[in-house]
């Protein structure tokens, strides 16, 4: 049985009060509650404050390039689909630099879990607009305010028929821990967009700002109703829904590849002698 | 006996089927074959050709002059009539081309009418053409019939018989009507040769090396590798994943490699440009990866379906930061097969990226060989997996070692954690900032490994006169044409230019050390040293100068998007000798 002690990683280099701490705590709690050992999964991350996450967890880790966590995760998962793969990333890393991989891995429906620390700002590079920054937000690099429309990751994911689309808030530990477990238990590509205040650079979307707006989606909401889910995903402003917005039972990629029906790629042996037969095809 | 047959036509007319079928008939009949393709970047229309050279002796290049042109469009006649040999013949179907040519070297064969009459469908017109060419050469059709039976086995006896009748009709027509045909084919033994193209050989070499994961974005001329491996996906238990872009392709392959399987990606220059950050990631995370880089002329989109050796320095020097890499540049499909195996071996052993550098010419040319020898294939799993992890007391992914190599453990196979990072990291794989660890880690990755990697690199191939006055130097795909040019020059007796040899480099980087084989001695002693490259600036010559200080006396470069032909290269060499 793993304990929280087993998950004690490096000392975080985040700012005091950063919303990431809540996510870190919730994740560790979820792993312990689910009885998952640190070596039993891999976290893939890219670059950004969120991407430092696996170093603070203690687990198998591939901390790769900016925006490129998803393709690495896909490669790991296809090589060993019995091994859970989680991605911890930020709004800039995932929705900006890695936008193409976000779109296409949702389409693939590879069974990985994508946790996006969404603070609507670039933290590591010190306060530029991110794809989820609200229009009009002024930063050092956007002195006239953000002109581009705000990316709606949940609506985008639902449009792509993403298998599991959810949102939580780093200030709501109980909800977040529950949602992490739900995502891990879901059989399919899972997106959890986690609202998380950047205490240093985002002076608009603060802890208080989120707290006044977020609400738990009602139990009557049917996450399998795509139209209803899309309507919920469009809600932003005075009220921001938290919970499982959308869910479907699309078959996962790993189950559709005949080659790995019996065992994962990594457990398959190689027999050079078979080549004799293949060489004959060239005569 | 040395005949060249060129099948010309629009894209989509089946020139590749005709050419490929002829090549296989010749190879199966025990003749040496060399084919090359010249095609435009389009699916229909335009003008393409497929050239088949057949001989009773070994051949490793294409000729300029053609003995038989199979003209499936008018453009074939416009473009290729002037390249006909003295006794050469153009066969065509006046009804299909809607034009009659009266000159002696034309033979009007009603491909379509014969197909409809004997094969019950005009689709068989190409089979008629194959039969006609074989008839002109005086060959029997038994080998072709066997091939047709296999090719159409799933389509049933009726289709097979129609094809056989169509081929027979073509052959009979040609034999009866080609009064001018003076081709004489030398009888060969019954031992068939294998016929294989560069891309197939790389795919085969990868499979023979235990490849398990191949991710790529389609890009000419590398796509053939993915096609070949995809065809064997199920048989060998390989996953092919078509990535959303080349950035994803290399990152997926790195993920799969990290997870414990042999992984590869393939692309051309433009896609490789997108992969560059991933190449650097392989460097710092010490993740094994093999990358096939099939060059085509640039810059940017350049000439997508044509050939050039313009990315050598790009492959050598691209990617930020300093880390070791290996660049191998095969000259033949046979070399491609063994060097791909070597690439996997080095990548896995030293946990570095290995680039297999080819080009459209090598990718698409088909060659004949006696056989590929599987006893020369090496496979050694270097991973710590399963029971192999049981006796460890601790594991650090990037632990400092004597030779710089830290064993790769399979994540999840034990309670040891496997941690790696694109940030500079400590032995465990966690982010660091301190100068001492940074320096030690770079020493580990680069300087400790490099001497061992260098030791793996074989010297250049030396062929021809043992004490040459003239040394031709090539690298990569020019091997066949340069070697054959040397063969021709060696036979020129008496001639002042027959003390000639070739030094050919296939293992480019780390640059081969002179200690293993004194190639610099040969170059320094030679009166003439000529570097031959399929690019504009002589990139290999520049590399030789940088690595050894040696400067070639003469350069022959070609950068029109086409490969060197034997006649073209001999012409350039003779022009140089004449000007002396």
Q: How confident is the model at residue B42 (pLDDT cuts 50, 70, 90)?
A: confident
Residue of A47, A83, A268 lying closest to B412 (CB–CB): A83
**What pLDDT does B190 receive?**
72
Per DSSP bridges, beta strands B326-328 and B66-71 are unpaired
Which residues are CB-neighbours of A111 under 8 A, at least 6 positions away? A77, A81, A187, A188, A189, A252, A253, A254
Contact A232, A243 (CB under 8 A): no
Q: Which of these, B224, B205, B226, lies nearest to B372 by C-alpha position?
A: B205
- Chain B residues with CB-CB distance to A77 below 8 A: 255, 259
ω into B43 cis (within 30 of 0): no
Residue with tokens 């002076």: A203
pLDDT tens track for B447-468? 999 999 999 999 999 999 999 9
A266 contacts B410? CB cut-off 8 A: yes
The CATH H-level (homologous superfamily) assignment of domain A4-280 is Thiamin diphosphate (ThDP)-binding fold, Pyr/PP domains (3.40.50.970)
Structure tokens at B59: 């051949």
Task: Give CA–CA dist B87/B92, Å, rounded.
Answer: 16
**What pLDDT does B189 receive?**
72
Distance set, CA B121 to CA B112, B118, B163, B405 (Å): 8, 8, 9, 63
pLDDT tens track for B536-548? 999 999 999 999 9
Task: Give CA–CA dist B26/B415, Å, rounded.
Answer: 58
Residue of B193, B248, B379 lying closest to A270 (CB–CB): B379
Residue of B247, B261, B420 lying closest to A61 (CB–CB): B420
Lowest mean pLDDT among B56-65, B140-149, B494-503: B494-503
Give the pLDDT mean for A189-203. 97
Mark which residues 238-267 of A lie under 8 Å from B by CB. 257-260, 265-266
DSSP B297-340: --STT--TTS---TTHHHHHH-SSS----EEE--SSHHHHHHHH
Q: How confident is the model at residue B168 (pLDDT cuts 50, 70, 90)?
A: very high
Task: Give CA–CA dist B342/B212, Å, rounded.
Answer: 16
Q: Is the pLDDT of residue B496 over 80?
A: no
Residue of A44, A60, A75 lying closest to B213 (CB–CB): A75
Question: What single DSSP character describes residue A252?
Answer: P
Q: Count Cβ atoms within 10 A of the Cβ of residue A273 and give its class: 0-12 exposed, 13-18 middle, 19 or more buried.
A: exposed
Residues B343, A81, B393: CA angle, nearest 5 degrees: 70
Q: Which residues pair with B242 in a beta bridge?
A: B216
Going through B457-541 in order, the beta strands assigned E by DSSP cover 461-464, 470-475, 500-505, 507-509, 528-533
Distance set, CA B120 to CA A167, B150, B161 (Å): 65, 20, 10
Q: Which residues pair with A216 in a beta bridge?
A: A242
Going through B424-469 in order, the beta strands assigned E by DSSP cover 461-464
**What pLDDT does B579 receive?**
87
Mean pLDDT of chain B: 96
Contact A256, A81 (CB under 8 A): no
Going through B56-197 in order, the beta strands assigned E by DSSP cover 66-71, 84-92, 106-108, 194-197
- Chain A residues with CB-CB distance to B418 below 8 A: 42, 60-61
Question: What single DSSP character describes residue B499?
Answer: S
- Chain B residues with CB-CB distance to A83 below 8 A: 259, 411-412
- Chain B residues with CB-CB distance to A82 below 8 A: 412
A268 contacts B248? CB cut-off 8 A: no
- A198 near B CB under 8 A: no
Question: What single DSSP character describes residue B372?
Answer: -
Contact B459, B517 (CB under 8 A): yes
Residue of B260, B263, B431 lying closest to A52 (CB–CB): B431
Nearest Cα of chain A lies from the Cα of B195 at a distance, in angstroms, of 6
Q: Is the pLDDT of residue B154 over 90?
A: yes
Give the pLDDT mean for B180-196. 89
Residue of B28, B236, B431 lying closest to A283 (CB–CB): B28
Residues B488, B489, B492: CA angle, nearest 5 degrees: 95
Question: B280: part of which helix (H) or strand (E)?
Answer: helix B269-285
* Percent of chain B whose pLDDT exceeds 90: 94
Domains of chain B: 2-177 (3.40.920.10), 196-376 (3.40.50.970), 383-454 (no CATH), 461-578 (3.40.50.920)
Q: Which of these, B354, B365, B303, B306, lies nearest to B331 by C-alpha position?
A: B365
- Chain B residues with CB-CB distance to A71 below 8 A: 243, 247-249, 251-252, 255
Which residues are CB-neighbours of A88 under 8 A, at least 6 positions away? A23, A43, A44, A45, A50, A51, A53, A54, A69, A115, A117
CA dihedral B274, B279, B282, B283 (to 10 degrees): -150
- Chain A residues with CB-CB distance to B259 below 8 A: 42, 75-77, 79-80, 83, 266
Q: Whole-model pTM?
A: 0.97
Q: Where are the domains of chain A?
A: 4-280
pLDDT tens track for A100-126? 999 999 999 999 999 999 999 999 999
- Chain A residues with CB-CB distance to B234 below 8 A: 258-259
Q: How many residues does chain B have?
A: 580
Q: Is the pLDDT of residue A150 over 90?
A: yes
**What pLDDT does B422 receive?**
98
**What pLDDT does A12 receive?**
96
Residue of B194, B412, B421 lying closest to A283 (CB–CB): B194
A40 contacts B259? CB cut-off 8 A: no
B429 contacts A61? CB cut-off 8 A: yes
Please tell me which residue of chain B has the smallest CA distance to A9.
B430
- Chain B residues with CB-CB distance to A80 below 8 A: 259-260, 410-412
* Angle between helical axes of B246-259 and A99-108 (0-180°, round to 10): 60
**What pLDDT does A79 receive?**
98
Task: Give CA–CA dist B336/A251, Å, rounded.
Answer: 39
B232 contacts A278? CB cut-off 8 A: yes
**What pLDDT does B492 receive?**
80
pLDDT tens track for B46-71? 999 999 999 999 999 999 999 999 99
Residue with tokens 């710590």: B384
pLDDT tens track for B347-404? 999 999 999 999 999 999 999 999 999 999 999 999 999 999 988 999 999 999 999 9
Task: Give CA–CA dist B388/B314, Å, rounded.
Answer: 39
Residue of A62, A258, A268 lying closest to B420 (CB–CB): A62
pLDDT tens track for B272-293? 999 999 999 999 999 999 999 9
- Chain A residues with CB-CB distance to B419 below 8 A: 54-55, 60-61
**What pLDDT does B451 receive?**
97
Structure tokens at B322: 């300093």
Work out how many CB contacts closer than 8 A connect A with B.
194
- Chain B residues with CB-CB distance to A58 below 8 A: 417
Task: Give CA–CA dist B197/B369, Å, rounded.
Answer: 11
Distance set, CA B477 to CA B148, B330, B496, B545 (Å): 32, 6, 28, 21
* SS3 of residue B420 by DSSP: strand
Task: Give CA–CA dist B37/A270, Å, rounded.
Answer: 34
Per DSSP bridges, beta strands A42-45 and A85-90 are parallel
Count the Cβ atoms, other than its own, within 10 Å of residue A6.
15
Task: Give CA–CA dist A44/A54, Å, rounded.
Answer: 8
**What pLDDT does B354 receive?**
98
């Amino acid at each position: 049985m793993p304990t929280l002690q087993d998950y004690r990683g490096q000392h975080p280099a985040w700012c005091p009060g950063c919303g990431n701490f809540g996510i870190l705590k919730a994740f560790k709690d979820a792993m312990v509650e689910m009885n998952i050992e640190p070596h039993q999964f891999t976290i893939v991350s890219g670059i950004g404050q969120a991407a430092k996450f696996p170093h603070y967890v203690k687990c198998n880790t591939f901390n790769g390039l900016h925006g490129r966590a998803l393709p690495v995760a896909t490669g790991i998962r296809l090589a060993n689909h019995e091994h859970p793969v989680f991605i911890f990333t930020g709004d800039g890393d995932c929705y900006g630099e890695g936008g193409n991989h976000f779109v296409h891995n949702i389409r693939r429906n590879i069974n990985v879990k994508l946790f996006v620390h969404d603070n609507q700002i670039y933290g590591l590079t010190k306060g530029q607009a991110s794809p989820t920054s609200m229009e009009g937000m002024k930063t050092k690099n956007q002195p006239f305010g953000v002109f581009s429309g705000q990316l709606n990751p949940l609506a985008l994911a639902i449009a792509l028929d993403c298998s599991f689309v959810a949102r939580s808030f780093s200030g709501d530990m109980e909800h977040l821990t529950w949602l992490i477990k739900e995502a891990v238990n879901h059989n399919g590509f899972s997106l959890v967009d986690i609202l998380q205040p950047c205490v240093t650079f985002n002076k608009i979307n603060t802890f208080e700002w989120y707290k006044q707006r977020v609400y738990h989606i009602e139990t009557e909401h049917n996450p399998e109703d795509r139209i209803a889910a899309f309507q919920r995903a469009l809600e932003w402003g005075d009220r921001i829904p938290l919970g499982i917005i959308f869910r479907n039972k699309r078959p996962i990629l790993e189950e559709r590849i005949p080659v790995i029906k019996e065992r994962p790629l990594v457990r398959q042996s190689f027999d050079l002698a078979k080549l004799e037969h293949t060489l004959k095809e060239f005569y | 006996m040395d005949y060249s047959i060129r099948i010309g036509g629009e894209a989509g007319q089946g020139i590749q089927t005709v050419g490929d079928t002829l090549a296989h008939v010749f190879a199966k009949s025990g003749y040496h074959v060399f084919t090359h393709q010249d095609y435009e970047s389009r699916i229909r229309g335009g003008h393409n050709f497929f050239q088949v050279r057949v001989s009773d002796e070994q051949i490793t290049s294409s000729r300029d002059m053609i003995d038989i042109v199979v003209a499936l469009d008018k453009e074939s006649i416009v473009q290729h009539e002037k390249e006909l040999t003295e006794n050469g013949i153009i066969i065509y179907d006046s009804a299909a081309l809607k034009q009659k040519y009266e000159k002696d070297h034309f033979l009007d064969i009603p491909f379509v009418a014969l197909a409809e009459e004997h094969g019950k469908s005009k689709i068989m017109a190409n089979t008629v053409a194959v039969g006609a060419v074989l008839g002109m050469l005086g060959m029997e059709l038994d080998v072709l019939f066997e091939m047709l039976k296999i090719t159409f086995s799933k389509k049933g006896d009726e289709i097979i018989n129609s094809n056989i009748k169509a081929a027979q009709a073509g052959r009979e027509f040609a034999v009866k009507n080609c009064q001018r045909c003076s081709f004489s084919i030398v009888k060969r033994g019954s031992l068939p040769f294998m016929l294989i193209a560069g891309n197939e050989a790389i795919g085969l070499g990868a499979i023979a090396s235990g490849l398990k994961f191949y991710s790529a974005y389609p890009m000419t001329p590398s796509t053939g590798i993915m096609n070949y491996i995809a065809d064997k996906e199920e048989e060998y238990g390989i996953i092919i994943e078509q990535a959303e872009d080349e950035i994803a392709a290399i990152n997926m392959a790195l993920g799969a490699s990290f997870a414990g399987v042999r992984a590869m990606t393939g692309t051309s220059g433009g896609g490789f440009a997108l992969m560059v950050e991933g190449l650097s990631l392989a460097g710092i995370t010490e993740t094994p990866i093999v990358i096939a880089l099939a060059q085509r002329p640039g810059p940017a989109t350049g000439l997508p379906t044509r050939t050039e050796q313009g990315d050598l320095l790009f492959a050598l020097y691209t990617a930020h930061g300093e880390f070791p890499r290996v660049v191998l540049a095969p000259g033949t499909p046979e070399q491609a097969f063994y060097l791909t195996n070597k690439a996997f071996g080095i990548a896995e052993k030293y946990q570095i990226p290995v680039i297999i550098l080819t080009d459209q010419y090598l990718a698409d040319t088909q060659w004949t060989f006696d056989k590929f020898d599987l006893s020369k294939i090496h496979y050694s799993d270097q991973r710590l997996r399963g029971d192999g992890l049981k006796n460890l007391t601790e594991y650090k992914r990037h632990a400092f070692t004597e030779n710089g190599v830290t064993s790769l453990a399979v994540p999840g196979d034990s309670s040891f954690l496997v941690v790696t990072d694109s940030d500079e990291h400590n032995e465990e794989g966690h982010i660091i900032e301190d100068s001492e660890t940074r320096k030690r880690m770079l020493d580990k990755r680069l300087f400790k490994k490099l001497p061992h990697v260098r030791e793996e690199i074989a010297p250049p191939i030396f062929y021809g006169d043992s004490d040459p006055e003239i040394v031709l130097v090539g690298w990569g795909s020019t091997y066949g044409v340069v070697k054959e040019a040397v063969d021709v020059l060696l036979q020129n007796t008496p001639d002042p230019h027959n003390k000639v040899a070739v030094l050919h480099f296939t293992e480019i980087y780390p640059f081969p050390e002179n200690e293993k084989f004194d190639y610099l001695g040969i170059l320094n002693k030679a009166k003439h040293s000529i570097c031959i490259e399929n690019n504009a600036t002589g990139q290999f010559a520049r590399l030789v100068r940088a690595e050894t200080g040696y400067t070639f006396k003469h350069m022959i470069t070609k950068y029109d998007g086409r490969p060197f032909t034997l006649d073209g290269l001999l012409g350039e060499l003779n022009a140089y000798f004449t000007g002396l």
